[in-house]
Structure 1
Amino acid sequence: MLKIGLFGVGHLGKIHLSQLSTMKDVEVTGYFDPSDANADSIRGTYSIPRYETAEELIRASDAIDIVAPTTQHFQLCETAIRMGKHVFVEKPMTNTMEEARLLVKLVEEANIKFQVGHVERFNPAFLALKGYDLKPMFIEVHRLAEFNPRGTDVSVILDLMIHDIDIVLSIVQSSISRISASGVAVMSDTPDIANVRIEFHNGCVANLTSSRISLKKMRKMRLFQKDAYIGIDFLDKKTEIIKLKTPADEGLFTLDIATNNGKKTIAIDNPEIKQSNAIRMELELFRDSILENKPVAVNVRDGFQALEAAHQILQKIGKGQSE
């Protein structure tokens, strides 16, 4: 039985708790949250102890799940790692790049499992593309959300766009050559809406737009590559592939179109979407990495690269606003 201690029982922490409490081979040791209101909100629903200090909970656990504010991530991670405990930490993994560099060093020197909570990696719409050869040369992303005061302690880059930064980096598999960005703080003290262009050394270009002041929600990614267009709707869990027909595409819906080079046959594929709970899946994979001694799904280097790109974007926006 794997004993996991939970840090933070706010909105997202409660979701983690509901999943961990029903997970095979997992025992929730207890939780730590300085907020009496958060603690009161789960009392009576879960019969798990509230620990008075973070150190006590870490000491009593085999692994910890950090769903606390980003500013607390590094200290909790460092304490747990130095005590030989496994760590799952929500994105972004640290508040600053200095903390991120130190954390990478700590993790790589320790004999522990460390996973970063980039949950969109486990979205059913994205998982439906597993096994498909993704080699995009242009990517367009829109992630729009309605305004919610929760989460505005960080910019929209670290709050929302980092999901797409991580996905794009995992797909493109090339280093960044140039970043252009603009953003505006409308309702909070940090950018609430931003548009970013990321250019990669392999020639791929990604345009990302994120907003937390929109009237409607949208989480869409469009990939354009040789002979194919792939659309991913992370919100409605839908995936579509439109490509030039090949002999392997028999059985798919096809459409003939006229081009300057003659008639082309287009095949439209809607991969099967296997419904699943993304948060439960990432936590189960974290559990399995420990119990079966397997690599984690999203490692510390993945978390570092996404955070580094996010901070480069923030620097570009900051310079633009000061000019």
Structure 2
Amino acid sequence: MSKLRVAVVGVGSLGQHHARIAAGSEATELVAVVDPGEARGREIAEKFGTAWAPDMGQVLDRVDAVQIAAPTGFHHALGLEVLKAGKHVIMEKPLAATLDEGKALLGALAGARRDRPGLVAAVGHLERFNPAVTALRSLGIKPHFAEAIRVSPFPMRSMEVDVIMDVMIHDLDLLLALIGRPVVSVEAVGVPVLTKYADLVNARLRFEGGAFATVTASRVARKKERVLRAFGTRAYASLDFAAQKLEVLRLAMGPDGPAVLPDVIDIVEGEPLKLELEAFYAACLGLGEDLCPWQDAFEAMKVADMVQKSVAESLANLKID
């Protein structure tokens, strides 16, 4: 089978890993890396044995698929250009900078698929590919209540977006996937600390059907913590994203009657980004499509927008003496 010819657009802190994985995969040929910064572009191109181009338009006719790891503000224009060329695409999260841009991308995708029905378009919500998340989803636990905490020291990047779009959106996507119902209401508070945007946010989400969740995201913590706790019928799951560990307790019959018993969950550790990109390559080659589609990513954006509006309202009403 022929290799999938790919280009990586944007080779910053995350894009360099896109290039590494594309260069090392048996399924792909890394045709070029694209970045307007010549020094950085040439550095990454040389490191992974490929070419550098300052503009994506220079390489589109030589590739089958594009990995977009450019800043969010460029997603709309780059996505439209890739779709117009009829190429498969995976875009780093979030799908777009605004809901209007997200809607435009979905409309363009629908048009592109009329000409090429098998066109693959995914968004890089890589936590879906965390082995602990994969294990949790396989158990079929439908949470009635969930708590997600995702905090870390300030990263000195992604300063053009708030912590909701930068960090919290991972958990919003996962909660939508786990609970399987839309969010109907949001109450949120947040504060800007080191940027002009909210750097610390806590949100309470209520889902259609009555499930609810609390989500905390911060990029001003002393240390990293990324955990999810889900409570369903007769079952409780605690997931550590960084350690790729999953603990599950169930109410079951023990030797002396009803008891809370642990499930033994065997997890094969793996790099989520590599697992995600290998799934993308497989989908492009017609070998499966276990990905985060653009529509799912747009639904996460809609919830993020609800959180942003609630945070803005809480800040407008904040009074500090």
TM (norm. structure 2) is 0.93
Cα deviation per residue 1:144-189 (whole Å; 9 max; x = unaligned)? 1011211222100011100000000001111211111111000011
Q: For structure 1, which segment, 25-34 or 162-171, has the greater mean C-alpha deviation from structure 2 after superposition? A: 25-34
The answer to which of 291-300 and 198-207 deviates more is 291-300
Structure 2 vs 1, CA of residues 43 and 102 (structure 1 numbering), >3 Å: closer, same or farther? closer
User: Displacement, 1:43?
Assistant: 5.0
- Partner in structure 2 of residue 169 of structure 1: 176
2:232 aligned with 1:225, yes or no?
yes
CA distance in 2, matches of 1:37, 1:199: 48
Determine if the alignment matches structure 1 residue 151 to structure 2 residue 151.
no
Change (3 A) 1:255 1:76: farther
Name the structure 2 match of 1:280: 274
Greater shift, 114-123 or 40-49, is seen at 40-49
Instruction: Tell me how far 1:278 sits from its aligned partner.
Output: 1.0
CA contact (8 A) 1:128 1:274 kept: no
Q: Which moved more, 1:122-131 or 1:34-43?
A: 34-43
CA distance in structure 2 between the partners assigned to 1:296 and 1:57 by the alignment: 27
Find the aligned partners of 1:225 and 1:100 in 2 and give their Cα distance: 33
* Distance (whole Å) between structure 1 residues aligned to residue 200 and residue 272 of structure 2: 26
Q: Is 1:70–2:72 an aligned residue pair?
A: yes
CA drift at 1:30: 0.3
SS in 1 for 2:139: coil
Q: Which amino acid aligns with 1:98?
A: D
Alignment pair present for 1:16 and 2:18: yes
Per the alignment, residue 259 of structure 1 pairs with none
Mapped partners of 2:58, 2:212: distance in 1: 47
Distance 2:137 2:211 in 1: 20
Aligned mates of 2:77, 2:184 — CA distance in 1:
32
The answer to whether the 8 A contact 2:151-2:223 is kept is: yes
CA distance in structure 1 between the partners assigned to 2:290 and 2:263 by the alignment: 31
- Letter matched to residue 103 of structure 1: L
Q: 1:311 to 1:255 in 2, by over 3 A?
A: farther
**Is 2:202–2:217's contact at 8 Å kept on the other side of the alignment?**
yes
Deviation at 1:135, TM superposition (A): 1.2
Instruction: Select 2:33's aligned residue among 27, 31, 34.
Output: 31
Shift of 1:47: 2.2
Do the aligned partners of residues 24 and 98 (structure 1) sit closer, same or farther apart at CA in structure 2, a change above 3 Å counting?
same
User: Residues of 2 paired with 1:296 and 1:128: CA distance?
Assistant: 14
Partner of 1:250: none
Q: Distance between the aligned counterparts of 2:255 and 2:191, measured in 1?
A: 43
The one-character-per-residue Cα deviations of 1:70-102 (angstroms, maximum 9, x if unpaired) are 000110110010111111100001111001001
Counterpart CA distance in 2 for 1:255 and 1:108 is 56
The farther-off stretch of 144-153 and 114-123 is 144-153
For residue 190 of structure 1, what is the aligned residue in structure 2? 197
Q: In structure 2, do the counterparts of structure 1 residues 255 and 235 end up closer, same or farther at CA, with 3 Å as the change threshold? A: farther
Contact 1:239 1:270 in 2 (8 A): no
**Could you list the runs of 5+ residues in structure 1 that have no partner in the other structure?**
247-253, 257-262
Structure 2 unaligned residues grouped into runs of 5+:
none
Aligned partner of residue 128 in structure 1, secondary structure? helix
Q: Decide whether the 8 Å contact of 1:113 with 1:296 is kept in 2.
A: no
Q: Deviations over 1:19-57 (max 9, x none)?
A: 110111211110111123422542542221111322112
Question: How far apart are the structure 2 equivalents of 1:95 and 1:198?
Answer: 22
- Residue 291 of structure 1 is aligned with which of 285, 288, 294? 285
Q: Which amino acid aligns with 1:306?
A: A
Moved more, 39-48 or 182-191: 39-48
SS in 2 for 1:188: coil
Could you tell me which of 245, 249, 262 is aligned with 2:252? 245
Aligned residue among 5, 14, 17 for 2:7: 5
RMSD (CA atoms)? 1.6
Distance in 2, matches of 1:227 and 1:16, equals: 40
